[in-house]
Structures are given as structure tokens and as C-alpha cells.
Copies of this chain bind each other. A is one copy, B any other.
Amino acid sequence: MIKVGIVGGTGYTGVELLRILCAHPQVQLTAITSRKEDGLPVADMYPSLRGHVSLCFSAPEKADLGACDVVFFATPHGVAMAQARELLAAGVKVIDLAADFRLRDTKTFETWYGMPHACPDILEEAVYGLPEVNREQIKGARVIGLPGCYPTSMQLGLAPLLAQGKPLVNELGLIADCKSGVSGAGRKAEISTLLAEASDNFKAYGVKGHRHLPETVQGLEAISGRKVGLTFVPHLVPMIRGIHSTLYAQLLPEARDTDFQALYENHFAQERFVDVMPAGSHPETRSVRASNMMRIAVHRPGNGDLLVILVVEDNLVKGAAGQGVQCMNIMFGLDEAAGLMHVPVLP
């Protein structure tokens, strides 16, 4: 059994980790920290876990995280990088669901997250936890920076196009029109995500700039080996879970004869958590609700020069906790799908 600790188990990605890990056949939940809730049974805060999780939250200094095999950080940005060194020294692997180990460039990190990076040397060895792109590096990683929810959908949605030897599309003019459920904003007391504000409503936000833009561009450039230009417009959908990314890419003349449906199917043929839908499909976010699956559909309206890629994922699973567990499975040599075979909940 792998001994797992969770730092910051009170937010949505934390409770989602708990939902997945408490039923994972090879995991023993060992410690869940929360300074504020020290001593409170986890199931008192989340009655959905009654009978499934018997642990209490414990203050960080009381939790023996050093005895864990791996520790997940479901914390605000900045926490994981402050604690990583000590855990690594104790032989504990680290999987961060926040942004501390996502951006390779510390200046970019500082610009977007407003704090200096605490451990550039650890960042150096950290692996970006996107299994469908970095599986081999993840196997040997000690530190994982998990992708953001939007970046996961954008990178996997565009990967088959960009991973080719020659450009197929105008890689400097990509557009990602993304829509996310409200849980993406986290379990924080904020007016803008109150039901009375966000329900029966739709809006864009962050058009001027969003932290997930540099992360996604970094990832796409790593995939293509070429410079990438991306316009990213996120929107807030009045629903709890789910991300739908609508991606637009301008075909290059020399790529007009490509069979893009086949390209996508082949690219993901071995992937257990990426489902390329039949041609003409319109995947729904609910078709992956509460599961680690991503579904992708490839469209080329009017057989013209613009590709429209539709991508859906559950932002809390494939976009966060589930992807973290997928990385853990890979790191510890388990079946990559262990504990992750939830059937999506529909309706």
C-alpha cells in the first residue's frame, strides 16, 4: 500500500482527491493537514465521506508527512514550494496541484503569481504532470507540477496537430475559447461565484490575460518544438464541474489533405483517458462528469481551412485530482488506471 498524505484537504481539489484515493485499492490515506481544521474529522466537513474516510484533519506540524510515500498539495500557490525540500529529503515524492512547479521560467512565474520562486533547483528537476505527453519523465519523477485545468484541455486538444514534424496549422494564431464550471474557482468565499451571481448567467473573464496562458504556451511549444501564439478566452458557465474548450486552428495549405480524424485517433490510440469521438460528435461535459476521461471531437466546418476541436473534461478530475492520481500510479509503477475507472455520472 502506498502511504499518501494530503496538504490542504479542505478545498474542491482536496475533497476530490479524497473521493478518489479513499477507494483506491493500493492507497492508504495517512494524513490530511489543515491548520484551521486541526482535529476535525474530515467527514464532519464533508458528510459525503462518512463511512469512507475516518481520518481527522491535523495541523501540519502534527502530521508525520515524512512517513508518507507521496504527498499531494491541494493548496494555494506557494505552499508546495515552501515544503518540498524537506519532504524530498525524507524520501517523499511530491505532487503539486497548484502552480509552483508548472512554469519552467521563474521570471514568468513571478510575473503571473506575484511571488519569487522559493526553490528554483527543485523546479529544475520537477516534471510537468501531463501523462499523455510526459509519461516517461513522470515515471522517474520526484516532484510533479500538475497542469492547470484549462491547460490540460488545451494541450491535449492541440497536441496531435502540433506534435508533427512539420506545422499543419498556423501555430502562431491559435485560439482557445474555453468554458469552465464554477468549481474551478475553488471553495472560497467570494461574491462573484455565489449562486445568486453566477447562476442563470454567462460571461467571459480575464480576456486581458490569464495565468493559464503562459503555462499552455510553454506546453505547446514543448510539444511542437516551435514557437506558438495562442489567444485564450476563458468563460464562466453556471454549472458545478466541467470544462469545454473550443479550439480553433487555421490549416496551412500543405495540410489540406490530412485526415484529421485519423490523426487524432492514432495519436491517442493507446491512451486510456483520452477518447477521440466519432467524426461529427459534440461531446458534452456531463459525459465525463466525476471521471478521469477526456473526450475530443475534430471538426472542419464546410471542409474549409479552419479546424474546430471540441474538448471536454471534468476540471476536478482529469483537470486536477484525477490527473494527480494518474501521475502517482505511473510514479509507483501501478496500473495507470488504478482507482480511476469511475463511470461518469449521468444524468
Contacts and interface: CB of A to CB of B under 8 A. Distances in A.
Interface string A232-258: 010101111110101010100000000
Given A195-B240, A275-B50, A231 B248 contact: yes
A306 B187 contact: no
Contact of A246 (B235, B241, B242): B235
A48 interface: yes
Q: How many copies of the chain does the oligomer comprise? A: 4
Contacts of A50: 275, 287, 295
Interface in A176-203: 177, 179, 181-183, 185, 187-191, 193-203
A211 B19 CA distance: 37
A201 B239 contact: yes
A191 B193 CA distance: 9
A344 to B, nearest CB: 4
A283 B287 CA distance: 27
Interface string A141-184: 00000000000000000000000000000000101010101110
A19 B285 CA distance: 17
Interface string A1-38: 00000000000100100010011000000000000000
B286 A48 contact: yes
A302 interface: yes
Contacts of A197: 187, 195, 347
A48 B197 CA distance: 13
Nearest to A194: B193
A306 B51 CA distance: 30
B201 A22 contact: no
Interface of A: 12, 15, 19, 22-23, 46-52, 173, 175, 177, 179, 181-183, 185, 187-191, 193-205, 207-209, 229, 231, 233, 235, 237-242, 244, 246, 248, 250, 275, 277, 280-291, 293, 295, 299, 301-302, 304, 306, 308, 310, 312, 316, 341, 343-347
